[in-house]
Structure 1
Amino acid sequence: MNHCDTSALMSITNRPDIVFHEGHGSWLTDHTGKRYLDFVQGWAVNCLGHSPDVVAQALAEQAKRLINPSPAFYNAPAAELASLLTQNSVFDRVFFANSGAEANEGAIKLARKWGQVNRNGAFEIITFENGFHGRTLATMSASGKPGWDTLFAPQVPGFPKARYNDIDSVAALIRAETVAVMLEPIQGEAGVIPASDEFMRDLRELTRRHGLLLIVDEVQTGMGRTGKLFAYEHAGIEPDVMTLGKGIGGGVPLSALLAREEVCCFQPGDQGGTFNGNPLMCAVGLAVLRTLLAPGFLQSVADKGIYLAHGLEALSARHGLGTERGQGLLRALTLDGERGPAIVEAARLHEPTGLLINSPRPNLLRFMPALNVELNEIDRMLEILDAVISPDRA
C-alpha cells in the first residue's frame, strides 16, 4: 500500500506519520499493512467498531433511496429515529444535528430562549470546572478546560463555573440571571471523572427548586457507553434537556438535542442547519440504536466494563500504578507519574501489533473501545499495555 501526500491538510494537531486505510471491528490497518487494536474508536464515536455491517448496509440502502431532501421537509428515517429515542428516554422532542458541539450549541440556544420566555430574560448557564462541551466559541466558553478562557478571547459571556461534585458551589452561583445548569455525567476530557449519583440527584432537586433547566451533555456518555442507554439513568433522575453525539452515528456525523415538551420553545427560524436530520445519517442512527436496544446488548456492555476494570486494576497492582475509574466501557487508569503520552506512543509503536489508547491528561490513560469489543481483545489490549509499561519505570 502506498503512503499518501498529507501536506495539503491544515495542521490542527500532532499526528503520527501513518495513514489508516482499513478498519474492521476493533482493528485498524495502516498504509504499511500494520494492524492496531483500537481502544480509542474515534473518541468513543465508533460504538459498534470500525465499518460495522449494520452501518454499511444502512448507508448503502438509504443512499440509493434518498440522501437529503432539505430540512424544510420531513423524512422517514429522522421521524423514526426521533420516535425511538423518545420512546426510550424521558424526552419528548428531538432536533438532529451533525456534531456534539452543534447539539450543545443548540441546547445553549434553547435554554436562553426558554429564559426569555419564562424567566424574564435569564441567560446564564452554570457549567463546571474542567468540563468539555465542544469547540465552537459558545461551547468553548461553556467548557472549563484550563487555558480556553483566553485562547480565542473574548469568550461568550454567561457561563459561571461551579466545582464538579460540589452542590454548594452550584447553589452559590444561582441568581436572577440563571436559566440552567449544564454538565457531563462523566467528565471525559478531564480524565473520566464521574458525577456521583447523589450529586446528580441533588442537582435535579436544586434546579427544580429554583425553576432552572438541567441539561446533561451525553455526547460521550450516551448511546450505551456506560452500560445503560443514557448515563443519567444511573442516578434515576429526569433531566430537561440532553445532547447526544459520537456514538449515535456509529462513525458518521450525527448528533441530537432532546428536550421535554415544556422546554421546547423554538420558533420557526430560531434553529436549523443545511444537513440537519438528513435521511442518510438518520438511517445509520436508527440502525445503531436498534442494535443497542437488542436484548442483552447493554448488559453485555456493563459486564465487559467490569471485566476491563478488573483487568486494569490487576495491571495497576502489578506495576504500582494508580486507581482505575469509570463506568461501562468509558474507563481511565491513573499512572505513577506524567508518562501517559509516552505510554500512548510506545503502545502505538508496539510490534507486531500496535495499540491505540488515549491520554487526555498526562497522568492517566483513557479507554473507549467498541461496545461490542470481544473479551479476548480486552485481554490482548492488557497484554500489550503490560509489555509497554514494563521496560521503563522512569
Structure 2
Amino acid sequence: MAFMLLTRRLACTFQHNYRLLVPSSRHISQAAAKIDVEFDYDGPLMKTEVPGPRSRELMKQLNMIQNADAVHFFCNYEESRGNYLVDVDGNRMLDLYSQISSVPIGYSHPALLKLVQQPQNASTFINRPALGILPPENFVEKLRESLLSVAPKGMSQLITMSCGSCSNENAFKTIFMWYRNKERGQTGFSKEELETCMINQAPGCPEYSILSFMGAFHGRTLGCLATTHSKAIHKIDIPSFDWPIAPFPRLKYPLEDFVKENQQEEARCLEEVEDLIVKYRKKKKTVAGIIVEPIQSEGGDNHASDDFFRKLRDISRKHGCAFLVDEVQTGGGCTGKFWAHEHWGLADPADVMTFSKKMMTGGYFHKEEFRPNAPYRIFNTWLGDPSKNLLLAEVINIIKREDLLNNAARAGKVLLTGLLDLQARYPQFISRVRGRGTFCSFDTPDESIRNKLVSMARNKGYLLCQQNGGVRPSLCGMPLVCSLVPLTGHSSMGLSLCTCSAPGPVQSLRNTEGKYNMVPPLEGLTCHRGQQTLKSVVKAEGQVLCREECTGRQEIRGSVRQGRGFSGGK
C-alpha cells in the first residue's frame, strides 16, 4: 500500500513540476498561446499497459531480426510533442528519460520543424558529405553559429563526430598522439616507429594508458570499453587493455550531515589516483590522460564535490597527464550550466572535452597543443553531420532566448526539494536523493523495487531512467517537475487553474485544508488570459479554482510557461 502511494505521489510530483518547465515550448516567433496549445499536451493519457499489444507484436517481429530484449516499447514520433512521448498503442507519457538524456528541447519543437521545412535547408538534410575532404561552403559558418558559440574555456579547436563513443575514442587517440609528441619532440616519425606500428608493437604503438574511475561509462567501442566500469554485461567476453581504474567517491547523504566523512572519502580516492599514476609509470604503461564525468551518469548518478574535481585537475597537471572531461550526458544545460564542469569554477577546466546527446551531434573540443600534426590521423567518413549543426544552432538560440539555463537551475532546486520530501515520507523505498539542476536521482533498496517503481510509474504515464530513480528532463521541461512538488501531499490533486484574461504572477497554491502552501520559485508564472493577478487557488468540488474574482471560472489543464502563463483548454 505504501509503495503504491509512493508511486502515485511520485507521479504527481513529476507531473506538477514538469509543467513549470515549459518555456522552451514557446514558438520561435513568440506568437501566441494558440500555437503553444497545439504544441503541448495537457498531461499523460494511458489507454493500455506498457508495452501495449501493438508494441508487443512489433517487438516479436523485431526479435526475429535482432535481439530486441532491451526495447521498452515502440513509439509514434509523429504524435509525440513537447515533453510527451506517445507509443504505438496511443499511450501518452511524460518523458523524464528523454531518449537517454539526448532530447534538448522536447519532441517536434515548432522552431525545429520550421527549420527543416525551409527550402534553403533542403540540401543540408538530403546530402551528407564526407566532411573531412569535401565540406560544404557554409560548414565553418554553421560551426561558429552552433558548437563554437558554446566552446568551453581555453578550447578553440573542435572535431565533430557522430556519437559519444566515437567522440571519446578519438579523444583518446588525440591524447596519445599529444603525449608521444611531447616525448619525441619536434622530430618526425622514425623508420622503426613506422614499421612497428604496422604489427601493433612498440615503439610505433607505445604502451600508454587512460586512467578512469569505477562506475564510469564512456562508451562501448574497444578503447572506451576499457574505461567503462558501470555494468558487467557491457564488458563480458570482450578483450580489453590493462589501464588503471581509480575508485570514485561514494558520498553519504545528506551532504551537510557528513561533511568530514565525505572529505575523507574524496581524499582517499584522490590519493589512489596518484598512486595508480606512479604504479603504471613503473609498469611502463604511462598514464597519458585521465577521463572523468562531472556526474557519473549511466553508472548510477554518482556525484563528487567541486573541490574533488579541482584537485583532480591539479593532479593531472602535476603528473603531465591530459585531463579529459566527458560531458556526453551532462552537457547541454541540464545542470543549470551549459557544461557541468563550469560549476567547478576553473579558468583551465580541461584539455579535452567530449560531447554528444543533447548537442545533437558528437565531437570534442581541445586545446591548440592537442591539434594533430598531419591529416587523416583523426578521421572517418562522415566526421559528424552538417544537418545536426543546423539544428543545434537553433536549439542554442532557444536556450539563450528562453533563459533555459536559469530555468534549469531554479527548477532543479524545487525538484530536489520535492524528492527530499518523498524520501522523508518513504525512507523504506527512497534514499540518497541528489542532483544538480534537473539532473536528479535517488536510490532504492534493491533492483526489484527499482524495477517495480519504474514500471508502475510508466503505467501511470511517467518515464523514468531505468538504472536508478533518475530523471533526465529535456530543457523544455524546466521551471514546474519543479515548483509544484509541495502539492504532492494529496495525490489526487491535479494542477488545474482557472483562466483570467491578463498576465499576473502566481504566488501560492494550496488545498482546501490550507496545507502544502506553494513556495518559490513560482515568480513569473502567469495566466495569459487573466485580468487580475492570480494569487492563490484552492481545491473545490473536484477542481482547483482561482480565489480571485476572475472572468474565467472554468478549469484549465494546459501547460505553464515561465514568464508567460497557463495555456491550453479543458
State how far apart, in whole Å, the 1-side matches of 2:141 and 2:311 are.
Answer: 34
Aligned counterpart, 1:68 = 128
Aligned counterpart, 2:417 = 310
Task: Please list, as runs of the form range in 1=range in 2, the aligned pairs for 1:277-292 lying within 5 A after superposition.
Answer: 277-292=384-399
Q: Deviations over 1:54-77 (max 9, x none)?
A: 333333336513332321133366
User: Does 98-107 or 26-35 show the bigger shift?
Assistant: 26-35
Q: Which amino acid aligns with 1:344?
A: V
State how far apart, in whole Å, the 1-side matches of 2:162 and 2:439 are.
Answer: 22
Aligned counterpart, 1:169 = 272
Q: CA deviation at 1:12?
A: 4.6
State how far apart, in whole Å, the 1-side matches of 2:208 and 2:401 are.
Answer: 40
Q: CA deviation at 1:383?
A: 8.3
Q: Which amino acid aligns with 2:386?
A: P
Q: Which one of the candidate residues 408, 425, 444 is aligned to 1:301?
A: 408
State how far apart, in whole Å, the 1-side matches of 2:359 and 2:485 are.
Answer: 25
Does the 8 Å contact 1:223/1:230 carry over to 2?
yes
Does the 8 Å contact 1:110/1:266 carry over to 2?
no
- Give the 3-state SS of the residue equivalent to 1:24 in structure 2: coil
Q: Which amino acid aligns with 1:188?
A: S
Relative to structure 1, the CA distance from residue 107 to residue 383 in structure 2 (aligned partners, 3 Å threshold; closer, same or farther) is farther
Q: Which amino acid aligns with 2:464?
A: I
State how far apart, in whole Å, the 1-side matches of 2:387 and 2:114 are.
Answer: 11
Specify every segment of 5 or more residues in structure 1 that has no aligned partner in the other structure, as ranges: 389-394
User: Does 301-310 or 11-20 show the bigger shift?
Assistant: 11-20
Q: Which amino acid aligns with 2:157?
A: R
- Give the 3-state SS of the residue equivalent to 1:143 in structure 2: coil
Task: Please list, as runs of the form range in 1=range in 2, the aligned pairs for 1:234-383 lying within 5 A after superposition.
Answer: 234-237=343-346, 238-249=349-360, 254-265=361-372, 267-294=374-401, 296-320=403-427, 321-338=430-447, 339-350=449-460, 354-360=461-467, 364-373=468-477, 375-376=479-480, 378=482
Aligned counterpart, 2:543 = none
Does the 8 Å contact 1:27/1:36 carry over to 2?
yes
Aligned counterpart, 2:70 = 14
Q: Which one of the candidate residues 271, 294, 318 is aligned to 1:209?
A: 318
Q: Deviations over 1:12-66 (max 9, x none)?
A: 5433455434311110112222211110000110021112123333333365133
Relative to structure 1, the CA distance from residue 39 to residue 266 in structure 2 (aligned partners, 3 Å threshold; closer, same or farther) is farther
Does the 8 Å contact 1:123/1:158 carry over to 2?
no
Does the 8 Å contact 1:248/1:289 carry over to 2?
no
Relative to structure 1, the CA distance from residue 344 to residue 381 in structure 2 (aligned partners, 3 Å threshold; closer, same or farther) is farther
- Give the 3-state SS of the residue equivalent to 1:172 in structure 2: helix
Task: Please list, as runs of the form range in 1=range in 2, the aligned pairs for 1:76-91 lying within 5 A after superposition.
Answer: 78-83=139-144, 84-88=146-150, 89-90=152-153, 91=155
- Give the 3-state SS of the residue equivalent to 2:431 in structure 1: coil
Does the 8 Å contact 1:355/1:384 carry over to 2?
no
Q: CA deviation at 1:199?
A: 1.1
Aligned-CA RMSD value: 2.7
Does the 8 Å contact 1:347/1:384 carry over to 2?
no
Q: Which amino acid aligns with 1:85?
A: L
State how far apart, in whole Å, the 1-side matches of 2:378 and 2:365 are.
Answer: 13
Aligned counterpart, 1:159 = 243
Q: CA deviation at 1:374?
A: 5.1
User: Does 173-182 or 84-93 show the bigger shift?
Assistant: 84-93
Q: CA deviation at 1:303?
A: 0.7
- Give the 3-state SS of the residue equivalent to 2:158 in structure 1: strand
State how far apart, in whole Å, the 1-side matches of 2:218 and 2:373 are.
Answer: 21
Q: Which amino acid aligns with 2:416?
A: A
State how far apart, in whole Å, the 1-side matches of 2:489 and 2:103 are.
Answer: 22
- Give the 3-state SS of the residue equivalent to 1:215 in structure 2: strand
Relative to structure 1, the CA distance from residue 189 to residue 309 in structure 2 (aligned partners, 3 Å threshold; closer, same or farther) is same
Q: Which amino acid aligns with 2:314?
A: E
Give the TM-score normalised by structure 2: 0.61
Does the 8 Å contact 1:162/1:173 carry over to 2?
yes
User: Does 56-65 or 333-342 show the bigger shift?
Assistant: 56-65
Aligned counterpart, 1:391 = none
User: Does 50-59 or 131-140 show the bigger shift?
Assistant: 50-59
Task: Please list, as runs of the form range in 1=range in 2, the aligned pairs for 1:73-222 lying within 5 A after superposition.
Answer: 73-75=134-136, 78-83=139-144, 84-88=146-150, 89-90=152-153, 91-119=155-183, 121=206, 123-147=208-232, 151-155=236-240, 157-165=241-249, 166-175=269-278, 176=281, 177-222=286-331
Relative to structure 1, the CA distance from residue 278 to residue 32 in structure 2 (aligned partners, 3 Å threshold; closer, same or farther) is closer
State how far apart, in whole Å, the 1-side matches of 2:207 and 2:490 are.
Answer: 52
Does the 8 Å contact 1:305/1:329 carry over to 2?
yes
Identity %: 26
The structure in which a higher percent of residues are strand is 1
State how far apart, in whole Å, the 2-side matches of 1:59 and 1:159 are.
Answer: 44
Does the 8 Å contact 2:409/2:438 carry over to 1?
yes
Q: CA deviation at 1:312?
A: 0.9
State how far apart, in whole Å, the 1-side matches of 2:488 and 2:137 are.
Answer: 45
Relative to structure 1, the CA distance from residue 158 to residue 56 in structure 2 (aligned partners, 3 Å threshold; closer, same or farther) is farther
- Give the 3-state SS of the residue equivalent to 2:381 in structure 1: coil
Q: CA deviation at 1:370?
A: 1.1
Q: CA deviation at 1:141?
A: 1.3
State how far apart, in whole Å, the 1-side matches of 2:439 and 2:431 are.
Answer: 17
Give the TM-score normalised by structure 1: 0.87
State how far apart, in whole Å, the 2-side matches of 1:247 and 1:149 are.
Answer: 23
User: Does 78-87 or 293-302 show the bigger shift?
Assistant: 78-87
Relative to structure 1, the CA distance from residue 119 to residue 224 in structure 2 (aligned partners, 3 Å threshold; closer, same or farther) is farther
